[in-house]
Every structure is written in C-alpha cells, then in structure tokens.
Amino acid sequence: MNNKIYCMENDTYKPKILVFSTDKISDPGIDQAGLRKIHYSPSVYVISMPCSSGIKPKWIVQAIEKGFDGVFIAADGHECSYSPKCADYTNRIITEAQEMMKAKNISPKRIRMAAICSVCAEPFASHMENFSRILNELGSIKDELANTTNQQ
C-alpha cells in the first residue's frame, strides 16, 4: 500500500494580482473566462469600475503596498462610453502610478494594462499568465518592500 500524501496545491509562490476591470467592457470577458472554465490563477482578484480612467494612481500604489504583487488594468480603450479620451487618461494614470512607485523604490513592472473586451476570455487568461510570469521573476512584493526598508 502506498502511504504517500499528495498535495493538490504546491507551496510555490503565486503572485497576488489585483485587476481593475470595467463593468460594461472588460467584466463580461473576464466573466466568460470563468464560465468557460478557462484557467487563470486563483490569486487574481477583480474590482469592477465604471471606467478605467476613474482609477486613482494612489489606489494602485496602495494596493501594492498592502500586499498585491501586481496591479492589472483591464482598460476600456477606445470602446469607452464615458470618454473618447479614456485610453489617454488611463495611460496617464499608469504613468503617474509608475512614477510614484519609482519614488518608493518599487518596480514599475508591477503594473500592466491591456484593453480587454467583452468577448476577451482567452486574452484575459493569457494576460494573467504572462503577468504572473513577470511577477514571479520580480518576486514577492513583501520581499521587495523589506529590501527597500533595509536599504534606507
């Protein structure tokens, strides 16, 4: 008789990702990924917003400082019903958040953005897989913040 214990989950590092999604554009695509059982990490957490240009740069930085290894913006792009300049505004938000992160010695690679449409289930899962890979290379934000604190 085999007495080995098999774990369903291994103890490797899994990056914790916060996704800012939009209720009319990217949420349906993300929901489809779940409904179609397209795999992406269970350590991905989604917050729904009306428009990606409404995200505050400080929210992104605070999410990372509170323990999220990365923040992904599922942007409206040019499909936004609130503003034809949504993509430009969202880009500025990302740039400002990255500058704030650099000032705190946090890697700006911890933020990613892509337009996710209402039928983009596979692309969303692919983005999460690629972003997880990048975050795995960077390592845990807790370690990065601890190193920053020790260097000061």
Provide long-range contacts, Cβ within 8 A and 24+ apart, for 140-145.
140/13, 140/15, 140/69, 141/64, 141/67, 141/68, 141/69, 141/70, 141/106, 141/110, 142/67, 144/106, 144/107, 145/65, 145/106
pLDDT tens-digit readout, 48-99:
999 888 899 999 999 999 999 999 999 876 776 777 777 888 899 999 999 9
Question: Measured on CA atoms in the order 47, 52, 53, 57, is the torsion positive or negative?
Answer: positive
Report, as an integer, the average pLDDT of 129-142: 94
Q: Which residue has the tokens 């934000």?
A: 141
Return the pLDDT at 11: 56
Region of 37 on the Ramachandran plot (φ > 0 left; ψ -120 to 50 alpha; else beta): left
Report if pTM > 0.75: yes
Report, as an integer, the average pLDDT of 32-52: 89
Report, as an integer, the average pLDDT of 13-33: 90
- Distance CA(129)–CA(40), nearest Å, equals 7
Report, as an integer, the average pLDDT of 111-140: 92
- The answer to whether residues 17 and 49 touch, using CB atoms and an 8 Å cutoff, is no
3-state secondary structure 88-135: HHHHHHHHHHHHHHHHCCCCHHHEEEEECCCCCHHHHHHHHHHHHHHH
* Residue 1: pLDDT over 80: no
* Residue 129: pLDDT over 60: yes
* Residue 107: pLDDT over 50: yes
pLDDT level of residue 149 (50, 70, 90 thresholds): low
* Average pLDDT value over all residues in the chain: 85
